[in-house]
Amino acid sequence: MKRLSGSDQIFLSLETPEWHQHIAGLTVLDPSDSDDFGFEKVLDHLERRLDLAPKFRWKLKNVPFGLDRPGWVEAEDFDLARHVKRIGVPAPGGAHEIAELLNQILTPQLNRRIPLWEFWYVDGLAHGRVAFVLKFHHALLDGVAGSSLATVLADLSPDADHPPVPDDLPTAGRAPSDAELIARSVIPNARTPFRIARYVGEAANRGLAMLQYRRTHDDAPPVTGIPRTRWNQSIGPRRATAFTSVSFEDLRRLRKEHDVKINDVVLAMVGGALRAYLEGHDELPEESLLVGVPISTRADDDTELDNKIANMTVSLATDETDPVERLRRIHRNSQAAKEMTEAMRARRIQSIGETAPPLMLNLAVRALHDTGAAAAMPTVMNAVVSNVPGPPFPLYFAGARITGMYPGSVIVEGMGLNITVLSYMDRIDIGLTSDPELVPDLWHMAELLPAALEELMQASGLGPATGVVDAFGN
């Protein structure tokens, strides 16, 4: 059995009927150049490629009574048919219709008795397109690992041969008996009070270090006085998604023009869109919005499919009217946030998922959920904006050309908006996820993202934004 990491355990413990912890990515395909493309070919392709991603054949093995972290074990009863679904999108089969379908796929939780993923084959799209949705639990892998999974499932050409299966792929091992797992948990549980004491001490030291850092760095991101928006409320079980795309070349030109990072340009585009959205609803706060930005902690040569992420908070300068000055401020804010994150990470602190057994974590999360205490907590950030690097070259799936990849991600209590961008070839595909009760007009927010990029391009003297080929064939 391969024991879960503390971070993976947190994703499991945080899950409630409303607080989902799964991710779903929509991939659009153009099979027009593949004469034999179809559902059966996709099934055969998927079954062969899963041999290269053995983690997708692992399932959870819980320790009785939540005495210790669960582990991954080989699913001896693995059946691909339990994970693959086929569904048609309603006419006319455009982006809005498939988004409604994705909303339905995102809403229910995954079955924890089998490997934590689903594959939905979607046909009936306009212009002869098809699509698939890969839904997986965050405990299984993070966004960067999910993006690298594309190199396993996809090919560089439409007629590529299936790659050979390496001999050294990881295995989860056998499933121990419940009695064995209980016996194994005795010593770790005996050490729990010492781990908690150490965690409290490490957390206090990090807190003091943060206070000291903020006293000596005026540009450190704020931790108080963060405004609430309409999506900074309690979330329900339903999900809403929307998509858009922009030119990657435009982001590169802005990066070069202003000597900033690509991620700064992404945040400036998001900041401009959120400012315009709230202004249009007469809800723009005087204080700037603050977003969480996940950052990968994996090494460049790390290809393991697991969670290796940290988080930094960045002010979006939404109190700034000038888009160019907003970008400059975001660049400075990002640099300051990165420096503070690195300074805090230098003071190591054990994950709470490694400190407390699942029984304690689950009870704590349930108390926060059932009492509404989580929703009453002060706002620490307004949204999550994640920038996932994707392949700069065209990919093919079972012979069909991939035309677009749109992420759908996790929203959390009090922070019901996630914007994830994924680079692919010369485009940036953007997926927005929210609760429809909090943001009923999410497509309007999505439309404001290219508009914000256009505004920044014009204000920078770079002319109009570059058009992007529509992934859905329009």
How far is CA 123 from each of CA 93, 339, 413, rounded to the nearest angstrom?
9, 47, 34
Return the pLDDT at 204.
Answer: 85
Q: Can you give the C-alpha Rg of the chain in angstroms?
A: 23
Return the pLDDT at 295.
Answer: 82
Return the pLDDT at 223.
Answer: 77
**Helix (H), strand (E) at residue 345:** helix 323-345
Exactly one of 137, 138, 331, 369 is catalytic; which is it? 138
Q: Strand pairing of 2-3 and 22-30?
A: unpaired
Return the pLDDT at 146.
Answer: 60
This prediction's pTM = 0.92
| Nearest in space to 317 (alpha carbons), one of 294, 281, 287 | 287
Q: Give every residue of the chain whose pLDDT is below 70, as ranges.
A: 142-148, 150, 296-309, 345-347
**Do the beta carbons of residue 445 and residue 242 sit within 8 Å?**
yes
| Nearest in space to 14 (alpha carbons), one of 363, 473, 401 | 363
The per-residue b/e assignment along 85-108, b for 16 or more CB within 10 angstroms, e otherwise, is eeeebeeebbbebbbebbbebbee
Mean predicted lDDT score pLDDT of the chain: 91
Mark whether 138 is an active-site residue: yes
φ/ψ of 133, rounded to 5, equals -120, 120
How much of the chain exceeds pLDDT 90, in percent?
A: 73
Domains with residue ranges and CATH for the chain: 2-185 (3.30.559.10), 193-392+407-459 (3.30.559.30)
Q: Strand pairing of 383-388 and 417-424?
A: parallel
Tell me the pLDDT tens digit for each residue of 96-113.
999 999 999 999 999 999
How far is CA 120 from each of CA 133, 197, 210, 280, rounded to the nearest angstrom?
5, 46, 45, 36
Identity of the residue numbered 117: W
Neighbours of 300 (CB within 10 A): 6
Return the pLDDT at 304.
Answer: 55
